Structures are given as structure tokens and as C-alpha cells.
Amino acid sequence: MMAKLQFPSLVKRHFQNDNVQHIPTEKTIKAIYDTFLEIGLVRDRERSGRPSVTTSKKLDESAEVLSNNSVGYNILGDGTPAQIIPMLTGMQEKELPSTLHRDKNGSFVNVYPFVWNKYRDQGYVTGYAEDGPNIGIWTLRLRGFNQTPTDHYMLPFYRLPVTKSFLYAQNSYCFGNQTSFELFLSYIRRFWTSYPTDNKFFFGFFKQYTHDDYSRGSLTDAPIFDLLRTLHKSGQLERTVFILMTDHGARFSAARRTPQGTIEERLPFMSFILPSSFRQKYPRAVNALRTNINRLTTPLDVHATLLSLLDMNEASSTNNVNVTQRAISLFNFDIIHIDFLPMQT
């Protein structure tokens, strides 16, 4: 566990008790721990023989790629389900059949009209990954899935006893020679490279580093960059609309009690990476996105955006949008029909 690496002598003694032949020095153990705290990685990066690029430069490059950042993306309610359920179903929880644990007649969440079902119906390979089932989106208050929801599903891995012993011990961030976040991203990477020519839809949600204290969020920077670099080198990023997002800001912290914290809690991060071929083929939709990211939007609009990606020819040619619709694709630009209700006197 990474917490124990704070005490190199204890780690060294552990290796001795296990009769490990090549025991690293305390200096090496401390260096591994310091590296993890700095960049979120415990293994060496691939090297080409040239000096490695500095982390700050890599993160600057990532920031440039993530330039389509929605500054007006707004939450719909308190907590994660209030954002993710509308994003993936187009409906709020109260509008869907009850799936609560306390409801004896409640359904499993498979009854929800998940957007990945629409992608699967159109021939896409689908995947879903979420860590921490003990505080899961679909398992904390809700009854969860009674059938595998997507073609690839990571939850069974997190329920294995060996996984729990590694990842759910206090202050544990490692699984073997990988951090828990590297492991999570490796599942997504393998999913993507396993279907190089197939259409794919994947939704991943990782919360271990930031659920209780978002100050550790920076540990995800370098691993995310490595994933983007892998997808770019393989050519997959050129065939992918990549959305990087958070569900909400801090809910329980000293920062949350400040005016700035209140704003951040309601305006989480949402960013789009679009392939160059997409930008060339649908310039009008891209211009609409660049305009709409400065408007007040919600998870319902993101759901409409995900649906529009299934038929961009139709989405990019739509001109008339009624602003009273509660869900409008971010690729839709011209809002020309506004109905105002008469004032009551």
C-alpha cells in the first residue's frame, strides 16, 4: 500500500520477511513514493533514448487539447446520481421506475433507458467501468444491475476478494505495480485497442482519489495524458469523441462553505476532444459547441449530445430548436423559437 511507503524501513522489513531476493534500498522506496505523490505513477514511463519531457509541458499540451471546456455546465441536483442518471438516460430519477433498496417492489436499474443501449442497437461495442461499488452510482441507494449492462463491464473485478484486499484497505492506492487509477485506465485502453476498427461507446467513472478529498485530483493528470497519448499514437483518438468530465464539485469541505466553493460545486468540469476529421466534416456543429459551452447547460443537454452523435448528419442540419426543450444537443446552434408565458397579475 502506498501509505506504508511513507516508512521505507517498514517496507524493507516486509520484503525481508517475505524472503525477497532483490530488496530495493530505502532511498529507492522513498523515491517511488515521492514519484507517486508528484505524478500519480509508480512505474517508469516508456523512454525513447531522449530526455523525458517534463510533466508540466505534458500537462500544458493536455490543456491545449482540452480547449473545448464547458464553462456553463451546471448540475441538476445534489450528488452523483442526480447528474449521471439524466446524462445516461435523458430523465431524472424521480421520472423513472423506482430502483431504491428500500422499495420492496423496486426494479433493478436495468429498467432505465440507458444511452449505451441505443449505441448497441446501432452496432457499437459498449463498455462501462466504475470503481468503488460500496459507494457506487447504482449500488449505494439503488438496487444495481441484475444483468450485465454493457458488452464489457468492470464491476465484477472490483468485487473480487483480492481486489478488495488491495484497493479498499485504508489509504491504499496500488494494485501490484500499478496505481488504482492506472489500472482503471488500462481497462479502457485494452477495450479500445481490442476493437481497432469497430464503433465503440464507453463510459468510465473513477472516484477513489477525489470522493472524500479532491486535493488528490492532480494525481490523475499524468495517467490521463498517457491514455490520450496511447490513443493518439494508435490512431484511435482520430476516430473518437473523447469527453472528460466530473459529476460535481466538492460537497463536504471547508472550501465548499465559501462562495467560490459553492460556485465550483454547481459548475463541474466538462470538456470535449473532437477529431480533426469530425471538425472538418461538421464545422457548423463544432461552431455550435464552441458557442454552447459558454451557455448554461445540464446533464440533460449532454444526453441529447450523446444521442446526436449517432446521427450527426441530422444533428448538424437541424436549424430550429425550441428553447423550452429541457434537453438540446450542444451541437445544435440556432435557437430561434422562444415561447414566453404570459405574466400572471
The predicted pLDDT at position 263 comes to 73
Note whether residue 337 is domain-resident: no
Lookup: cell for 106: 423496486
Kindly report the CATH number assigned to the domain that includes residue 108: 3.40.720
How far apart CA 90 and CA 302 sit, in angstroms, is: 9
Out of 172-181, 236-245, 309-318, least confident range: 309-318
Note whether residue 49 is domain-resident: no
Note whether residue 44 is domain-resident: no
Note whether residue 322 is domain-resident: no
The answer to whether the beta carbons of residues 296 and 74 sit under 8 Å apart is yes
Instruction: Give residues with Cβ within 8 angstroms of 33, minimum separation 6.
Output: 2, 5, 6, 8
Classify burial at 90, counting beta carbons within 10 Å of its beta carbon; exposed 0-12, middle 13-18, buried 19 or more.
Answer: buried
How far apart CA 204 and CA 84 sit, in angstroms, is: 11
Note whether residue 90 is domain-resident: yes
How far apart CA 194 and CA 264 sit, in angstroms, is: 37
Smallest Cα–Cα separation from 177: which of 13, 32, 9?
32
Which range marks the domain in which residue 95 is found?
A: 54-315
What SS3 class is residue 100?
strand
- Give Rg (Cα) of the chain: 22
Lookup: cell for 287: 461552431
The predicted pLDDT at position 34 comes to 57
The answer to whether the beta carbons of residues 302 and 83 sit under 8 Å apart is no
The predicted pLDDT at position 69 comes to 67
- How many domains would you assign to the chain? 2
Looking at the structure, tell me whether residues 155 and 14 fall in a common domain. Answer: no
The predicted pLDDT at position 319 comes to 53
Condensed to tens digits (0 to 9), the pLDDT of residues 65-117 reads 455 666 688 888 888 899 999 999 999 999 999 999 999 999 999 999 999 99
- CA angle centred on 300, ends 240 and 275, rounded to 5°: 15
Confidence band for 344, pLDDT divided at 50, 70 and 90 = low
Note whether residue 154 is domain-resident: yes
How far apart CA 83 and CA 81 sit, in angstroms, is: 5
The answer to whether the beta carbons of residues 270 and 302 sit under 8 Å apart is yes
